[in-house]
Amino acid sequence: MQDLDEAAAALPQGPTKKQSTFKAPFGKQDKSKVDALWGRAFYGNGFSFCLINDPHFKATVEATADFGENYKLPSLVSLRTTLLDKEKVSVAAELKSFMASA
């Protein structure tokens, strides 16, 4: 486990300002370290392997990568309250719209 902690700390740190059209190149060794961290997250938390094919998960990972290094994950409290409440409202509105068009 220590190797992966060191790998996470050793990943290249990009510029402090976000550059929307430039993505820093990563070598194969860097990718293997990132892959190992993904594996640790999945295995350590008992995530379903099917999650990797979920379109919402893929969109989230891509949006996070596009946002850049300044993105900070939401807190546990924010995720469990504010963000969940907003998602409930969004899903309810979509369902209402769907039912009205049916």
Token couple for 6? 């060191």
Domain regions of the chain by residue span: 1-12+23-70, 72-102
pTM: 0.63
Q: Is the pLDDT of residue 15 over 60?
A: no
In this structure, are residues 57 and 51 in contact, taking their beta carbons and an 8 Å threshold?
A: yes
Which residue would you say has higher pLDDT here, 18 or 30?
Answer: 30
Question: At 102, is the pLDDT very low, low, confident or very high (cuts 50, 70, 90)?
Answer: confident
What ranges in the chain are assigned the alpha helix state H?
2-10, 28-45, 55-67, 76-78, 84-101
The predicted-structure confidence for 44-84, as pLDDT tens digits, reads as follows 999 999 999 999 999 999 999 999 989 999 999 999 999 99
Q: Is the pLDDT of residue 11 over 80?
A: no
pLDDT confidence of residue 6: 67
Cα–Cα distance measured from residue 67 to residue 76, given in angstroms and rounded to the nearest whole number? 20
